[in-house]
Amino acid sequence: EAKKRGRDTLLVFSAAMHEAAKQRVHLVAELRTALATDELELEYQPIMDLRTGTIAGTEALIRWRHPDLGLLAPDTFLDAADEAGLTVEIGHWVLRNAIAQTGRWKSDPGLPADFSTHINLSPADLHHVDLAPYVEDLLVRHGVEPRHISIEITETAIMRGGPEVAATMQSLNDLGVRIEIDDFGTGYSSISYLRTLPASQAKIDKSLLDGLTTDRQQETFVAAILQLIHSAGLGAVAEGIEDREQADRLRHLDCEFGQGYFFSRPLPVADMTDLLAHRDGAAA
């Protein structure tokens, strides 16, 4: 009886795996079409200066407006894209769109001097040798100063990437583009390595905010991480801030920037544009 149940479970399991594999192949084929037919889009989530309460920047987050399935989050398709070798093409698409949009914002409604659009790149993008010239060309074409662009790379990608990724980070940094270490605190960077990276900011992962306002030990831990970031000469951004208590606590701990549903969900581009147009003390 137990044996039979085991066999049935196995059959169900492999049928499910087969179905998942079929869906994935299908997804990849559709993703190729999506790239060609403009089904990908970017939402923009504001990044706030916690000290002044003003908008310091925005993070571009990719979505796929799937004809049948609706708006898909990156976690549902980026792995499939990677397996299909589409990562670099998608990375280029994101860079083209986010830099062009930053150029449009710059002329209307105008941008604060230290505003930056944050763009996520994956390890495969950074292994692409021509990344820095590609970015430079886009900056020139759209009249965007490099300081208005920040490239987010996860701590894990940096640690696994080795010298090639470090070299690409250096070339981007040489252009004047800012580099940010994303999901900081989830990988295992060596503390001394942190000081050698050509990065200007570290974004502490949402998971570190769990218990921040209820658990004294967690608060001490986050304070230590912020000190570590600052002692390496980097600015700190906290992501995934969901309530006022977290925002207040982080400000008291000298975290300069914050991002999360408490301030705003990721927005369609038109809404992000409105927000920039109506920000306090908007410079035309």
Residues that bind Mg ion (CB under 5 A): 120, 152, 182-183, 239
The two most distant CA atoms of the chain are separated, in Å, by 76
Cβ atoms of 60 and 119 closer than 8 Å: yes
CB of 90 to ligand C2E, least distance (A): 7
Which does residue 168 bind out of Mg ion, ligand C2E, none, counting CB within 5 to 8 angstroms by kind? none
Question: Which residue minimizes CB distance to ligand C2E?
Answer: 260
Tokens standing for 121? 């790149």
Q: Which of ligand C2E, Mg ion, none binds 260 (CB below 5-8 Å, type-dependent)? A: ligand C2E
Least CB distance from residue 48 to ligand C2E, whole Å? Answer: 12
Q: Quick one: what does residue 13 bind among ligand C2E, Mg ion, none, with the CB cut-off 5 to 8 Å set by partner type?
A: none
What is the contact surface with ligand C2E in residues (CB under 6 A)? Answer: 45, 61-62, 73-75, 78, 94, 120-122, 152, 182-183, 206, 239-242, 259-261, 266
CB of 238 to ligand C2E, least distance (A): 10
d(CA 162, CA 139): 27
C-alpha angle 57-63-64 in degrees, rounded to nearest 5 = 160
Residue (24 or 49) nearer to Mg ion, CB: 49
Q: Give the helix/strand (H/E) hosting 148.
A: none
CB 242, min distance to ligand C2E, A: 5
Is 61:266 a contact under the CB 8 Å cutoff? yes
Distance of CA 268 to the CA centre of its chain: 16
Q: Report, in Å, the least distance between residue 45 CB and ligand C2E.
A: 6
C-alpha span between 246 and 108 (Å, rounded): 33
Nearer to Mg ion, 30 or 239 (CB): 239
Among 171, 62, 53, 152, residue whose Cα is nearest residue 112: 53
Q: Which does 122 bind (CB under 5 to 8 A by kind): Mg ion, ligand C2E, none?
A: ligand C2E
Per-residue tokens: 206:
């949402």
